[in-house]
Amino acid sequence: MREHNVTTERVGAFSDGMIAVIITLMALELKAPEEATIEAILALWQTLLSYALSYLFIAIIWVNHHHLLRLVRYASPQLIWINFAHLFLVSLLPFTTAWMAETDFAPLPVAAYAAVFVFVNIAYLLFEREILLHVETDDVPEQARKLARRRTVIGLIIFAAAAFTAPAFPLLGFALICCALLLYLRPEIFSRHE
């Protein structure tokens, strides 16, 4: 039986479709106020803030995901399964975003929201590690690999701190999530340093 190699283009295309569905599901949760006033919009600040953060998080996932996939041509079976797990965890975001927004940032929903970030970050760590196993050191120098590992572990620690902080201080937990996302705004961490 001939081995069939799956290209990372196919993995990326499938991921694009899933992320589009996830964003659509999240957008469908946005409900316009019944009144035509600024006060009615301002009363939805929790919904708008949680949606904006979740959208940013999904955008960061997409950018980093594609940046990593371009480093390799073929996807290992492990990478494909890790990608499925990663996308499944990201698909929980619309639910936790809506729950957090509808409960006005109540402690348990914020903690659940942070926990989703923890699990997504663990899956991303595995995804990143699997890709880097198949990349030459010439393409991604050891210094960039160390920096990437450090960034991912620090992000994981901050997301975990947010999950543990949220039951007592939900807004602090939410703020920690925002801080952790800042670590991932520059996917070019893997770019070649001349």
Segment 53-70, tens digit of pLDDT: 899 989 988 988 888 888
Residue 94 near residue 29, CB atoms below 8 Å: yes
pLDDT recorded at residue 191 = 52
Q: CA-to-CA distance for 56 and 49, rounded, in angstroms?
A: 11
Give pTM, 2 decimals. Answer: 0.84
Q: CA-to-CA distance for 185 and 151, rounded, in angstroms?
A: 11
**For residue 5, how many other CB atoms are within 10 A of its CB?**
9
- More confident: 153 or 141: 153
How confident is the model over 66-107, as pLDDT tens digits? 888 888 888 888 999 999 999 999 999 999 999 998 898 999
Burial class (CB in 10 A: 0-12, 13-18, 19+), 23: middle
Min mean pLDDT across 79-83, 116-120, 139-143, 176-180 is at 139-143
Q: CA-to-CA distance for 61 and 55, rounded, in angstroms?
A: 10
pLDDT recorded at residue 190 = 55
pLDDT recorded at residue 146 = 85
